[in-house]
Structure 1
Amino acid sequence: MGERLLAIDTASPACSVALFENGALIAASYAEIGRGHAEKLVPAIAKLPDRGKADKILVNCGPGSFTGVRIGISAAKALALAWGSDIHGYNCLALVAAQALDQLEQPEPICVAMLAGHGQYFVQNYCANGKPAGDFASLTPEQAVQEVRADVIAGSAATELATLAGSKRDISILPNAAHIFLVAEDMKNMFPKPDYGRKPDAKPTKTG
């Protein structure tokens, strides 16, 4: 058996896992579930060959759902500890950009727009080579329109933002762990900690 890599993605309404051996996909699971990642993730990993055991783990660190990001990273850290595996993270928007670029006939700049809750979008522009053209931000739809720097918008908010921006093509997709090798290697070495992209919905109650 060669080197195995397990990719975990729970930062969006989709829950996906994928197992690779020497860079080749050998098994994967993808489901758009909305909520319930905690209940779906471990069984999905357990159904992979050798129950998903891998030498390296990659996990989506966000931005995305607070609960989803936290579940994915917690599971990845627990498995890495149990298996003695290396663990790294990647940016949610980078994977969406890579998936969108893979669908185009010719590479061109991409603007990624993902639903961020509270009526906002996570927005980030990417170059035709898949590299970020700036930092991501959580923006209102009106603000997001001003930040679009490409003719193609991809992500869960792509259709909405393309309609607002006008004269834009949209690719409505969610991140899928099975496509993680579309992302450049230097963009898959994040420290595995949550990057929620915005402040928590609730604040701890002060005591005393």
Structure 2
Amino acid sequence: MRTLVIDTATKACSVALFEGETLSASRFEVIGRGHAERLLPLIAQLPEKGRADRIFVNVGPGSFTGIRIGVAAAKALGLAWNIPVHGYGCLALVAAMARDETPDTLHLDVLMTGGHGEYFFGAFDEANEPLGEVISIKPGQIDAYSHASVIAGDVDLSGTTRNWVDLLPDAQKWHLLRDATPLKPSPVYGRPPDAKPALVAT
């Protein structure tokens, strides 16, 4: 089965094409902004322009805009190709990538840039199962929530006593989540949106 993987939930933009669990081709760029402009050209660079039997997309939490772009593109391609679309968690992939680099680690924590100076935090066990819900925390709360010896993500903690693994999610590492239950292809934001609904006068 051929799988197209789309990841636009962070400042990185990546896509990958798998034949079964074997990586066929991938593209990865750290772009900050502009995922809408880069995503489809990256997919077009894949064999057969990324045509697949199913799609997996990073549903977050992460960048509100990036998540929406990735999910919308995945659903549009799924509809056009008449194939199923599934989601996977941003922090779960980063945790799996970190565990792949530090295989002897039991529990590890993930910290990813959120918004308004906050971080998305999640703890994972040796089977890469979450030890609770992903939450949004402030920098001063890290020690109150994080107790693992290894922390991974895109928040620079290199000056601490922890074993810090600097990582961004990468679509070509999707196979590390092969045993995880697929998520619905719907955004997981991790905190309330910045925009508030307008009040309607009555």
**Shorter-chain TM band:** over 0.9
Other structure's SS at 1:71 match: helix
Shift of 1:125: 0.6
Partner of residue 168, structure 1 = 162
CA distance in 2, matches of 1:119, 1:167: 22
CA distance in 2, matches of 1:93, 1:22: 23
Partner of residue 198, structure 1 = 191
Mapping for residues 48-127 of structure 1, pairs under 5 Å? 48-127=46-125
Shift of 1:34: 0.3
Which region of structure 1 is more displaced relative to structure 2, 177-186 or 66-75?
177-186
Shift of 1:85: 0.8
TM-score normalised to the size of structure 2? 0.95
Shift of 1:186: 2.8
Contact 1:107 1:129 in 2 (8 A): no
Q: Does 1:180 pair with 2:178?
A: no
Mapping for residues 35-54 of structure 1, pairs under 5 Å? 35-54=33-52
Shift of 1:105: 4.6
Contact 1:57 1:76 in 2 (8 A): yes
Contact 1:116 1:122 in 2 (8 A): yes
Other structure's SS at 2:39 match: helix
Residue identity (%): 48
Shift of 1:22: 1.9
- Render the CA deviation track for 1:76-114: whole Å, top value 9, x for unaligned: 000000001111101100000000000115232110000
Partner of residue 9, structure 1 = 7
Shift of 1:49: 0.6
Contact 2:17 2:23 in 1 (8 A): yes
The amino acid of 2:6's aligned partner reads I
CA distance in 2, matches of 1:185, 1:102: 14
TM-score normalised to the size of structure 1? 0.93
CA distance in 1, matches of 2:179, 2:172: 15
Contact 1:58 1:90 in 2 (8 A): yes
Point out 4+ residue stretches in structure 1 off by more than 3 angstroms: none
Contact 1:122 1:138 in 2 (8 A): yes
Contact 2:105 2:150 in 1 (8 A): no
